[in-house]
Structure 1
Amino acid sequence: MMISGSIKALDVTRRRAVIAGRDGQEIVVTFPEGAIIEVAEPETMGTMGGELSDLQEGFWVEVEVAEQDAEGNCRCTSLVCVS
């Protein structure tokens, strides 16, 4: 499932983010080791490999989630920062 929204909260240490969609719905996303993270590359206006620490609250992202845990948190397989 693909989710688009802005990062409302980011906890790099716990590898978690809260993503708020256009409709106001929020989803908690966890990032396992090895999750693919792409960030904006200003020179080419494309993306390049990045880390969770490259992200900030307010960035617009597209997140691919694979499954939900017992608490309803989604496990992220990839994230592309588009802002």
Structure 2
Amino acid sequence: ALVAKLQRMQFGKSSEKLREKTQRQVREAEECINALQEEMVEVPGEQHDPALPQPLRQSSSRKRKLLPASFPSEKPARCRW
């Protein structure tokens, strides 16, 4: 049934319309991407998107302290999938 549906999509009456619509959408998306890339080149000083969060910075002074030796240690159970 799926093969027949795909054959109708590719070779049926509406396949040309569907193909043209898809090609048009791809062209529009490529034009939009090109325009955005050109805008990014025009702004030389800005290297990041201010809307995105800053990456977390790892600092050697903020390492987690070790637990006291008196605390019991447990090994995690193995996951069996």
**Which interval holds the TM-score relative to the shorter structure?**
under 0.3
* TM-score normalised by the chain length of structure 2: 0.17
Considering Cα pairs closer than 8 Å and 6+ residues apart, tell me whether 1 or 2 has the greater RCO.
Answer: 1
Higher Rg: 2
Which one has the bigger helix percentage?
Answer: 2
Task: Choose between structure 1 and 2: higher strand proportion.
Answer: 1
Give TM-score, length-normalised by structure 1: 0.17
